Amino acid sequence: MTAKVAVLAPQVADQIAAGEVVERPASVVKELVENALDAGARAIRVEMEDGGKTLIRVSDDGEGMSRVDAELALSRHATSKIRDATDLIGVATFGFRGEALPAIASVARFELETSPDGRSGTRIRVVGGKREAVEDAVRQRGTTVTVRALFFNTPARRKFLRAQATETRAVVEALSVLALTRPDIAFTLTSDDRALLDVPPADGPLERLAALWGSEVVDTLLPVAHCEGPLEVRGFAQRPAQARPAGRKGYVFVRGRPIRDPFIVRAAEAGYRSTLAPGDRPSLVLFLDLPGDAVDVNVHPAKLEVRFREKFFVEKVVEEAVRRALGPLVAAAPLGAGDSGLGDRVSWNGVAVPLDLFAADSRPPSPEPRAPSLLQVFDTYILFQTAQGIAIVDQHSAHERVLYETVMRQLTGDGAPAQRLLLPLTLQFAPPELDAIDSHRELLGRVGYEIEPFSGRAVVVHTAPNPHPRFDAARCLQELVADLAGGRSGGGGLANRLERFGAMFACRAAIKAGQHLELAEMRDLVGRLLTASLPAHDVHGRPTIVQLPKGELERRFGRS
């Protein structure tokens, strides 16, 4: 009887392995550049033609290989990175599986040229997995791998490659991600003799980001730095006001390794809760560092995924890290060139003044320092001087942020103090609005509205909140109920019913644009804004405060 099970021929097994590791030209570039990084390269050059379909060449100045190591490197499961299973715990190198080189060589015309010392060198040529030549070569210390005619012997797979422009973009993306992992290394990429990427060694991630993305995008980023237990989260998160529905860049690195993890990205976006406009998604670059035994990096053939020992802890810390980054007033939108945070003090007559002097009941113990002067313009914006320039506050957005944070404490606590009306309000609502009142009665009560049915479509309102002197209790309730009945959300990224309700109430109850404020009211509003947990943006993602740096004023007036 003929056996149904057979051991695959080595060439077939290699091509199957290639299918796991080599999906497209960008996969080849990723594997070869990771090898160069592990070899200690200080400069890596990538050349390609026809989107990598015709030619890929990766050259480095790393440690190179002896002839023995070069020949072994083209054998399946051969690696210099690990020796036994215990080495997989905490492995810190990019490549360790020992499959990339033989897998690539099995589906291309492949050449490896390497030298460990700049004197003796080796050149190995492989065609479709068959070794054709091993010979001496002369080259400087390092390694060059040339891959021609990718998938020439597997036409079905070659047919699935995309257009040249698409494959080229994928290579640029793959190399850019790796360039983010090592700012200290130079990377260049040419396509059909045209330079697409040329980044010299940088002092740090921000300088490398500026080289890759441009200074305009980098100016919208905020630093992320948070440590909890064994996990440290660093990186950058985009200001909510600059987030857009399309064009976001989201990168996560674990122990220096780029990974794909939608749950980590989702946790980071949860840190933006109540600050994003609906549909907007911020750009993120996050570096997670934790002990090697807390993460398994050996769960994906191309090492693009990891498994955390405490997944929910990691997600919680990432969310908190982003939320903390958005908290300081450095998250306020800059106006004009440059950017600076308000810090915890502002300048008044050249004297640094604590921000708590903005409080309406603050009384400085001596004539200096005094609380900074506030100016309302267009009955909408509040201006004051800071140590770095001029701050401009949108009174409605600012009060919306302040009220939202207050209301969320009330909704999860004992509720808000309510004002009993001398003359109860009698209001008419449509049937869907009456249903909304009934289903949200407890929440309405927690913000201060005591409502009972009257007759037909009428209700009686006995108590109401009093968030500011110009508050219109009837109008606010009518608009809030209309929002609830229409299913409208108060802001993007709001995760639960309480937050949506709180955002709606804050929007409807806040001081409006066009309302004149007395000095004490302005001072109280600004003081409360500056002490909010997320002061820089309202619940719709709009900035509450923008800054005009002193340097920009001097530039416009020709003083710089």
Give pLDDT tens digits for 465-508: 999 998 999 999 999 999 999 876 555 555 578 888 999 999 99
The pLDDT, as a whole number, for residue 350 is 45
Place of tokens 């065609």: 127
Q: Residues 419, 423, 428, 429: what is their CA dihedral angle, to the nearest 10 degrees?
A: 10
Say whether pLDDT at 235 is over 80: yes
338 within some domain: yes
The domain total for the chain is 4
Q: What is the pLDDT of residue 191?
A: 96
Residue at 170 is within a domain: yes
Q: Which residue has the tokens 């009456």?
A: 434
H/E element, 148: strand 142-148
State what percent of residues in the chain have pLDDT above 70: 82
406: three-class secondary structure by DSSP: helix
**Distances from the Cα of 12 to the Cα of 7, 130, 147, 472, angstroms:** 10, 12, 19, 77
Examine residue 269 and state whether it is found in any structural domain, yes or no.
yes
* Tokens encoding 551: 């340097």
Same domain for 352 and 498, yes or no, is: no
Q: 481 with 533, same domain?
A: no
109: pLDDT strictly greater than 90: yes
Q: What is the mean pLDDT of the chain?
A: 85
Cα separation of 447 and 460, whole Å?
Answer: 16
Distance, CA of 245 to CA of 23 (rounded, Å): 29
pTM of the model: 0.79
- Report how far residue 538's alpha carbon sits from residue 356's, in angstroms, rounded to the nearest whole number: 21
Q: Looking at the structure, do residues 37 and 84 belong to the same domain, yes or no?
A: yes
Q: Rounded to a whole number, what is the distance in angstroms from the first to the last CA of the chain?
A: 91
Closest CA relative to residue 286, chosen from 324, 244, 247: 324
Q: What is the pLDDT of residue 76?
A: 76
116 has pLDDT over 80: yes
What's the pLDDT score for residue 473? 94
Is there a single domain that holds both residue 190 and residue 256?
no
Q: What is the mean pLDDT of residues 309-328?
A: 92
H or E element in which residue 70 lies: helix 67-73
**Beta strands per DSSP E along 209-279:** 221-228, 231-238, 250-254, 257-259
- φ, ψ of residue 174 to 5 degrees: the values are -60, -45
The answer, yes or no, to whether residue 4 has pLDDT greater than 70, is: no
Give 416's pLDDT tier (boundaries 50, 70, 90). confident
Residue 433 has pLDDT above 90, yes or no: yes
82-97 pLDDT, tens per residue?
Answer: 444 444 455 455 554 4
The CATH number that applies at residue 294 is 3.30.230.10
CA 181, CA 257: separation in Å to the nearest integer? 7
Here the CATH number for the domain that contains residue 545 is 3.30.1540.20
pLDDT value, residue 339:
45
